[in-house]
Chain A
Amino acid sequence: MEQRVIVAGFGGQGVLFVGQLLGYSAMVKGLNATWIPSYGPEMRGGTANCSVKLGDEEIVSPFITRTTHLFAFNEPSLLRFLPSVEPDGVVLVNGSLIGADSLKNVSSLAVVVPALEIAEQLGTRNSWNMVMLGVYLQTQTLLNRENLKQGMGKMVGQKHPERIESNLQAISAGMKWMSEQGGFIPNEIVAARH
């Protein structure tokens, strides 16, 4: 099984961090993984994206033409990468920034996550992208929370254990929110399969 994940948003939203965390987590689980950023003259406030592939077989190309999971952190990213999403793929939408109007053309499963609101309830506003990761965990079977925990440990080391802890709490909150929606087909999902 191979997951082809695109994480996209504004610079400063943790786009590259979220992508790298998926890569580290896959690696500590013994899976193959590739991560490649869009790089170049990017700047804070500009757009950023990265492509992550993970799976148990050899990953040939690191580039993604057909996406299984799209993290859309802002509207331009959603519009740009939506055409690449497989019909049975999953679009994880940052509902705190992206309005329902933008979802008209979504023909695969879209989960609109009130990520910022959930993170604010936790008192860690900046961990909203971890909430998105928690939601993602519930839509697939390759990675689980323990893998992310170990991946994070490998990635950021033991320098900031308190940050790892708050990230894990946000991941749990995202998982809980998703399960409260009734699992894979919650009410909040714009399920416009064609």
Chain B
Amino acid sequence: METMFMKGNEAVAEGALQAGCRLYFGYPITPSTEIIEYMAKHLPARGGTFVQSESEVAAIYMVFGAAGSGERVMTASSGLGISLMQEGLSYMAANELPAVLVNIMRTGPGLGGLGPMQGDYFQATKGGGHGDYSLLVLAPASVQEMADLTMTAFDLADEYRNPVLILADAALGQMMEPVTFGAREPKRYDKPWATTGAKGRKRNLVTSYNLQNEVGEQKSIYLEEKYRFIQERLQWAETYQTEDAEYVLVAYGTSARIAKGVVNALRENGVKAGLVRPITLWPFPSKVFTPLNERVKGYLVVEMSAGQMIEDVRLSTEGKVPVAFYRRQGGIVPQHDEILEEFAHAFSVGGILA
């Protein structure tokens, strides 16, 4: 076990290496560049192959091919680059290819700026490419989780044969924190479907093309059931001080860290506040809200977007509880005092402003 002081981006890369990732294809972009730098430096030394592709479109199809061989493979980018990868992602989901992607979100739409934002939630969780598919989406909130969830992502990808996306914002990518490695061994999965050379067996095909609607429907139903199975099993969230909470803040990633400070401040002022921090964004952890909906007086969603995750929160609350919202955009991070002020305003709770 060794504790290092690392950037979130470096922790993602080291986590991937420790999970047995030996192939990396990507194209650099701020604020994710430390990932590709780390891989370029360390992957060859650990027996892997690193290729800087000519574009993100090329990178995702290199990932596609490598995943088809059954090797653990990763790429990383920021929202702009992930946009370019959407076609390949749809193809990978259709072909049930396991791989890990990382989106270190900067601002959008378009070229945007370099600051942290959470505006790619829809793209990540609601498809983004064509067709009925989902990525599994994990949202770390610390440098330790950048490492841990990346390792977990490789296991989930292999277990469910689906691309897994780490969705983190630029602040998490750029910040440094202590991070401990060495506590876990990578799991190994049999991959009888992989194209590893057909000598002595029937050849494996990785393809999603067929012209018979009846076959197409069978495939669609199969994928639908697979995703439903994942939705039942994987709903992860951190709950903080929710046991007796009357008001619950809901946030992920960097926003969740700031919201946790707000919960602490509210508690110090006698307000029974708590926090739900979704860790799986797809599947969204709706089950966590079910018992809270019966007794909570209000939710306050905090995001660095115009309001994206709030739609899933509203669906999870089934209209039973008011849902308020606070956001900053364009690379500005929501501030502690602003959130407190919005809380007081939204729920008419006086006397909490220090």
User: What is A's interface to B at a CB cutoff of 8 Å?
Assistant: 20, 23-24, 27, 32-37, 39-41, 60-63, 65, 154-155
Contacts and interface: CB of A to CB of B under 8 A. Distances in A.
B114 A41 contact: yes
B178 interface: yes
A35 B178 CA distance: 10
Given A61-B257, A63-B258, A37 B5 contact: no
Interface of B: 3, 5, 30-31, 113-115, 170-171, 174-178, 254, 257-258, 260-261, 264, 333, 335-337
16 contacts: A23-B5, A33-B5, A34-B175, A34-B176, A39-B30, A39-B170, A40-B30, A60-B257, A61-B258, A61-B260, A61-B336, A62-B171, A62-B254, A62-B257, A63-B335, A65-B335
B176 A23 contact: yes
Given A23-B5, A35-B177, A63-B258, 7 more contacts: A20-B176, A27-B5, A34-B175, A36-B174, A37-B174, A60-B260, A65-B336
A50 B317 CA distance: 39
Contact of A35 (B175, B258, B260): B175
Contacts of B254: 61-62
B257 A35 contact: no
B258 A27 contact: no
Contacts of A20: 5, 176
A63 B5 contact: no
A75 B171 CA distance: 27
A27 B4 CA distance: 8
User: Which 8 A-B pairs give the minimum distances between C-beta atoms?
Assistant: A60-B261, A35-B176, A36-B175, A40-B114, A60-B260, A61-B258, A27-B178, A24-B5
A33 B114 contact: no
Nearest to A52: B176
Nearest to A154: B5
A39 B114 contact: yes
Contacts of A65: 335-337
A155 B3 CA distance: 12
A41 B31 CA distance: 11
A60 B5 CA distance: 17
A60 B240 CA distance: 12
A32 B3 CA distance: 12
Contacts of A40: 30, 113-115
A131 to B, nearest CB: 23
Contacts of A36: 171, 174-176
Contacts of B114: 39-41
Contact of A33 (B113, B171, B178, B336): B178
A114 B215 CA distance: 79
A60 B176 contact: no
A61 B176 CA distance: 12
A29 to B, nearest CB: 11
Nearest to B7: A35
Most chain A CB atoms below 10 A, which of B170, B178, B337: B178
B178 A39 contact: no
Contacts of B170: 39
A7 to B, nearest CB: 13
A20 B171 CA distance: 16
Contacts of B177: 32-35, 62
Contacts of B336: 61, 65
Contacts of A61: 254, 257-258, 260-261, 336
A40 B25 CA distance: 24
A155 B178 contact: no
A178 to B, nearest CB: 27
A34 B114 CA distance: 20
A63 B175 CA distance: 10
A60 B337 contact: no
Contacts of B113: 40
A169 to B, nearest CB: 24
Contacts of A155: 5
A33 B142 CA distance: 11
A23 to B, nearest CB: 5
Nearest to B3: A27
A41 B171 CA distance: 15
A89 to B, nearest CB: 17
A34 B176 CA distance: 6
A10 to B, nearest CB: 20
Contacts of A23: 5, 176
B9 to A, nearest CB: 11
Nearest to A41: B114
Contacts of A154: 5
Contacts of A63: 171, 258, 333, 335
Contacts of A37: 174
Contacts of B176: 20, 23, 33-36
A40 B114 CA distance: 6
Nearest to A24: B5
Contacts of B264: 60
